[in-house]
Structure 1
Amino acid sequence: MGTRVQGAVHSDKTLSGVSGLLEDLRRLLEDKDSADIVFLLGRDESPVYAHRLLLAARCTAFQGIKRGEICRIPGATVAAGTGGAPATVRLPHYSESNFRIFLVYVYTGKLVLQDSGVFEMMGLAHELGLEELRVSCEEHVTSTLAVVNACTFLAAAFEMYERSAPHGGRSAKTFLDKCISFIAENALDCFKTNSFLSLSKDALVKVISSDYLAVEEEEVFRAALAWAKHKAGVTQPTAHWAEEEKARVCQHLSGVISHVRLLLIDSQVFAEEVEPTGAVPIELSLERYRLAALPKKYSEQSDDKRCQPRMSCTLFPGSQILNLASPNSFGDDKSSYQRILNEWYGNPKQQWRLVFRASAHNFSAQAFHRLCDGISPTYTIVAVSLRLKGK
């Protein structure tokens, strides 16, 4: 008779060789002599060697290909090897360091994700077809996104989006938008981080162009000024700048200041903090003072974005109709609807509380009256489909 073995013990014995197998696969990854494919990474075309058989077992970009094909990777330049030389795949929009981490995961399943490289890793997983790795990257971003790393994530996502945009880049675009939305809702805290000061000019413009920054316009200007001073290496207050320091700061603010809605800044702040920097064109300064003198005239120019206060997504929390990220909402820009509702109410910064959602209460009239009667003021918001159907 055989001896009954406990399931856990049996399982451990069947896996006893796994650690050795993983070590062998790691050594195989480092063996250039047996490699039959070489990836040339980045503009410097740094070579990284690999084995097509393992790539075909793990990555869909190497599966289901026609005879004579090597792989199907967006943006890659592929050449078959001749005379026993390995096949060549050029990936100019990926770095050598992150690609090596990617291959370690392909060969061994081991992964070390870093905030600065997670979006590039996500792009590799998407384009080479390794779904489990892509999901791990998404979970890493979603679970760790916070004030302290939001701008680090943004910088990485923006860099990845810039490199992958010519080849699609939808995955990077999705998380670029996610980072910007998070920073917008936590703007004041994110503006104080060192990683915010280290953003590229293009990434900074993405942030301060958002309609959903949850801060007053004065704080947007102060954040842009702090960023420019950091880039220019200027630490003194504006009043103590030398002409050369002012020139450096203004150079960095060029192309940035136009995205700050200067016409909305308080007159005293504008005179004491904005104008002394020398970064605002004289024409805009004159327009700002005309606005202060004739506010009603400018309030009629509702189509002028410079006169439109930014709208925080938290003004209507819980709304699936007005929420920018809701798949059930219509259109892309919900700021106009939020703005109109608050203009009707008379306070552009008014925040509201969701008390009733019809779909969550089986569209019950009784539930509507039970939850809403006696509460004032209220808005009842209904989404109406405007699609036309004809025979």
Structure 2
Amino acid sequence: MAVQKTDLSEWMENKTLPECMMYMLKNEILCDVTFLVGEDCKPIKAHRYMLCSRSQVFHTMFQGSMPDDINVPDLDENTFDLVLKYIYSDEIEITWENLSDVLYAADKYMLSRVKQKCSDLLKTTAHSSDAVVALSIAAQFHLEGLQRESLQFIENNTSACLASVHANNLSKECVEIIIQSDYLTCTETDICKFFLTWTDKCIETAHLERNPENLRSVVGNLLYLVRFPLVDKKYFSQFVSHTGILTLPEIVNVFRSHYGEKSDLFVEKTRVPLSKRVTHTFTRHATRRHGWTARGVDALSIESDKNIRINEVTIFGPTAEILSNLRSFEFEILNEKNIRIYSSSLNLPLEATTSKKYTFGPVLIEANKSHTLLLKDIKVKTYYGVKCKTSFTANSTTVTVKNSTMCTTGTNTEQGQFAGIFFIS
């Protein structure tokens, strides 16, 4: 785009920085890099300085000997323009029509705030019968929070979600995420029916002949996540056993399980929804004391030998009345990659109290993966625990806490904050 001759005062005086930057972009003023965008290699000019200031990918790219013309064949012109507008002005227009393309671009150039804006838009879908759509996009673009919320909705409303027109188009990864869950709210027969329908759709999409070899090739190890011994006996005998997806030894194995013989191929444990599970309480301290000051980060690592859901924590309370402007603090849970999977701003009680319980939506703690619990900036003196336990076992599940390198206070496995941890196994 050619530079328009105009009085400088029209675009420099009394203008905001984003307005000036956007003017320079649109009018190609002092641009020093050109992108050839889309299949048609549409030339779009920009400024290296601005790109480096907003994107780690561009910063790394321009540290090396990059040519002045850079090919971007995987984005269309409209999407690339939206990305540039965000980089220059901090504004972006995200709609349902451009959501997937914008997410792809945000992931490509590591624009975390854009990804978060997309995730926020998708949250309405995560809490509907089309939660499988949100799950699919979340898994594709590594939106952990959205994936957790959509999976939880699917677990609580499994029949409706698996009946969605979008369910049969799920990726193999997403189907695995769903059917490996112990918390689904439908029968195993319903899960089996969905699985077989999804398999047929995969065969059709791949233009493969429907035979036992191709069926098993498409599903792979997903086959063993379906709990065939729990499928309705009549349905299994009259339909499943004739589909060709199971081998003869596998069919015999399931039939034997119907008569009390334990299956060594398929899981026989009944799925139990969260609403019907018991909450277990891991009270850490043997005794408590007063006078703990934690101006920093209280942190503990937590690990379980089975998947659990944390749904409450108990935090030690203030030892005296406090001012309202000092009571707010942050609570976070990080996964094994130190990515935040839950966060909330909480308040201590204004009056003196030994402890307070905080309840939240169940957060998945994956088996044998270290997660971190954090409390940030409790600025007043509180009670604290001593002679604390490091592990707790309930319902054949063992939860262990360990010291965290993120802790900047004295909280550790023997003393400090986190009076109790409540979990569902």
Same fold (TM over 0.5): yes
1:147 is paired with a residue whose SS is coil
Q: 1:61 aligns with which of 41, 56, 61?
A: 56
> Does residue 1:281 correspond to 2:247, yes or no?
yes
> Does residue 1:187 correspond to 2:172, yes or no?
no
Contact 1:120-1:156 at 8 Å conserved across structures: no
| CA positional deviation for 1:91 | 8.1
> Does residue 1:151 correspond to 2:132, yes or no?
yes
How high is the TM-score relative to the length of structure 1? Answer: 0.57
Residues 64-83 of structure 1: per-residue CA shift (max 9 Å, x gap): xxxxxx714xxx6863356x
Separation in structure 1 between the aligned mates of residue 217 and residue 25 of structure 2, nearest angstrom: 45
Q: Which residue of 1 aligns with 2:93?
A: 111
The structure with the largest strand share of the pair is: 2
Query: What are the ranges of 5 or more consecutive residues in structure 1 without an aligned counterpart?
Result: 1-15, 63-69, 162-171, 235-242, 322-326, 339-357, 362-378
Residues 118-163 of structure 1: per-residue CA shift (max 9 Å, x gap): 64365357x24x64x45433432334423344222222223324xx
Contact 1:155-1:199 at 8 Å conserved across structures: yes
Contact 2:129-2:161 at 8 Å conserved across structures: yes
How high is the TM-score relative to the length of structure 2? Answer: 0.53
Q: Which residue of 2 aligns with 1:139?
A: 120
Residues 212-250 of structure 1: per-residue CA shift (max 9 Å, x gap): 32222111111112222333449xxxxxxxx95556983
> Does residue 1:250 correspond to 2:215, yes or no?
yes
Q: Which has the higher contact order (CA 8 A, sep 6+)?
A: 2
Give the total of aligned pairs.
290
Alpha carbons of structure 1 residues 103 and 333: separation in structure 2 relative to 1, 3 Å: farther
Q: 1:331 aligns with which of 285, 295, 303?
A: 303
| CA positional deviation for 1:202 | 3.0
Alpha carbons of structure 1 residues 118 and 208: separation in structure 2 relative to 1, 3 Å: farther
Q: 2:256 aligns with which of 265, 287, 290?
A: 290
Separation in structure 2 between the aligned mates of residue 312 and residue 27 of structure 1, nearest angstrom: 55
Q: Which residue of 2 aligns with 1:217?
A: 188
Residues 141-193 of structure 1: per-residue CA shift (max 9 Å, x gap): 334423344222222223324xxxxxxxxxx3443344333323322111111
Separation in structure 1 between the aligned mates of residue 401 and residue 94 of structure 2, nearest angstrom: 49
Contact 1:26-1:104 at 8 Å conserved across structures: yes
Residues 297-349 of structure 1: per-residue CA shift (max 9 Å, x gap): 55xx8xx871222232333488787xxxxx999435655799xxxxxxxxxxx
Separation in structure 2 between the aligned mates of residue 78 and residue 273 of structure 1, nearest angstrom: 61
Contact 1:26-1:107 at 8 Å conserved across structures: yes
The structure with the largest helix share of the pair is: 1
Corresponding letter in the other structure for 2:254: R
Alignment of 1:47-86 (within 5 A): 49-56=45-52, 59=54, 61=56, 71-72=59-60, 79-81=64-66, 85=68
Query: Once the two structures are aligned, what percentage of the paired residues are identical?
Result: 19
Contact 2:224-2:266 at 8 Å conserved across structures: no
Query: What are the ranges of 5 or more consecutive residues in structure 2 without an aligned counterpart?
Result: 1-12, 283-298, 311-354, 359-393, 403-412, 416-425
| CA positional deviation for 1:267 | 1.4
